[in-house]
C-alpha cells in the first residue's frame, strides 16, 4: 500500500556569484572544452559568444518503506557425531551426508552437519531519499537547504522566466516509483503473505542557478562551459 505524497516543496538556491565573476571564471577556463593545455587552441583563439543563467531542477523524494513477509531460508547447524537427525516440530531434518574426504580426514569424532530448510518471518523498515537531475539521471545532492542558501520567494523568482528554467523530465509519480524500488530492491523474490506500506514524506523541486557559456573556437567549433553558481564550481 502506498500513501499519497505531501505537497511539493519548491526551493531556489541563492546565486553566490554575479555575472562578472562568472565571466572571469569562464575566461580563465575557456580552453577546457577544446582539449588539453598542450594540444588545444590558445585562449586568444577562443571567444565567449554568450553567457546565460539557468535554473536547473533537481527533483528529490524522501520516503519510508515497511514490510512483513515470510521467506524461504536455509540454516546449517553442527551436532555431535552420533546424532543422525534433528526433529523440529513435526519435521525431521537428517544429517548431511559426508563426502569421502570428510570421512577420511575428520573421522567418526567430527561434528555432523544438519541443513534446516525453514521459513523466516521477516520485518523490514527502511527510510531513504533519491535525487534526479533535470534530464532524469540519478545524481547526488551536495547542497544544504537552510535560510542562508535558499531564496525567500522561490515561486515568484521562477514566474515569468520559463525560458531560463530547466524543469525535470521526470514526473512526481515516476520518482516515487523509483524511490520505492530503491527501498525494496533487496527484498527476496520468493516470499509469501507480503504486507507492505510505502510512504512519501516529501517531494522537493530544487532549482540550481547555473551559468552556461557558449564558446566559439577555431573552425567555428562550439564548446560549452557551465558553472554551478550556488557552489561557485565548474560542472
What's the pLDDT score for residue 169? 95
Name the pTM for this structure. 0.81
Q: Provide the pLDDT confidence category of residue 103 given band limits of 50, 70 and 90.
A: low
What's the pLDDT score for residue 35? 82
Q: Provide the pLDDT confidence category of residue 101 given band limits of 50, 70 and 90.
A: low
Range with the poorest average pLDDT among 29-38, 53-62, 70-79, 97-106: 97-106
Mean of all residue pLDDT scores within the chain: 89
**Which tens digit of pLDDT belongs to each residue from 61-83?**
999 999 999 988 999 999 988 88
What's the pLDDT score for residue 89? 84
Name the more confident of 109 and 107: 109
Q: Provide the pLDDT confidence category of residue 207 given band limits of 50, 70 and 90.
A: very high
167 in helix, strand or coil? coil
Asked whether the CA dihedral 19, 22, 24, 30 is positive or negative, the reply is: negative
Alpha-carbon span 132 to 179, nearest angstrom: 11
Q: Are 214 and 54 in contact (CB under 8 A)?
A: no
Does 2 score more than 90 pLDDT? no
Q: Are 16 and 232 in contact (CB under 8 A)?
A: yes
CA geometry: angle 74, 120, 128, nearest 5 deg:
115
Alpha-carbon span 212 to 90, nearest angstrom: 71
Alpha-carbon span 183 to 171, nearest angstrom: 19
Q: What percentage of the chain carries pLDDT values higher than 70? A: 91
Does 91 score more than 70 pLDDT? yes
Name the more confident of 186 and 130: 130
Amino acid at each position: 500500500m502506498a500513501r499519497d505524497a505531501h505537497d511539493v516543496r519548491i526551493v531556489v538556491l541563492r546565486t553566490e556569484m554575479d555575472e562578472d565573476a562568472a565571466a572571469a571564471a569562464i575566461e580563465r577556463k575557456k580552453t577546457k572544452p577544446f582539449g588539453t593545455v598542450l594540444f588545444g587552441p590558445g585562449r586568444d583563439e577562443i571567444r565567449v559568444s554568450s553567457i546565460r543563467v539557468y535554473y536547473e531542477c533537481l527533483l528529490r523524494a524522501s520516503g519510508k518503506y515497511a514490510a512483513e513477509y515470510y521467506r524461504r531460508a536455509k540454516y546449517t547447524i553442527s551436532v555431535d557425531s552420533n546424532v543422525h537427525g534433528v526433529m523440529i516440530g513435526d519435521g525431521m531434518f537428517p544429517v548431511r551426508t559426508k563426502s569421502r574426504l570428510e570421512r577420511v580426514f575428520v573421522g567418526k569424532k567430527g561434528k555432523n552437519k544438519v541443513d534446516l530448510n525453514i521459513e523466516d518471518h521477516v520485518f523490514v523498515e527502511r527510510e531513504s531519499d533519491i535525487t534526479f537531475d533535470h534530464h532524469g539521471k540519478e545524481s547526488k545532492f551536495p547542497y544544504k537547504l537552510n535560510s542562508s542558501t535558499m531564496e525567500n520567494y522561490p515561486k515568484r523568482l521562477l514566474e515569468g522566466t520559463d525560458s531560463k528554467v530547466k524543469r525535470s523530465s521526470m514526473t512526481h509519480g515516476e520518482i516515487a516509483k523509483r524511490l520505492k524500488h530503491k527501498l525494496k530492491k533487496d527484498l527476496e523474490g520468493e516470499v509469501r503473505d507480503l504486507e507492505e506500506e510505502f510512504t512519501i514524506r516529501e517531494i522537493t523541486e530544487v532549482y540550481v542557478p547555473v551559468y552556461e557559456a557558449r564558446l566559439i573556437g577555431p573552425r567555428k567549433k562550439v564548446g560549452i562551459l557551465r558553472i554551478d553558481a550556488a557552489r561557485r564550481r565548474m560542472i
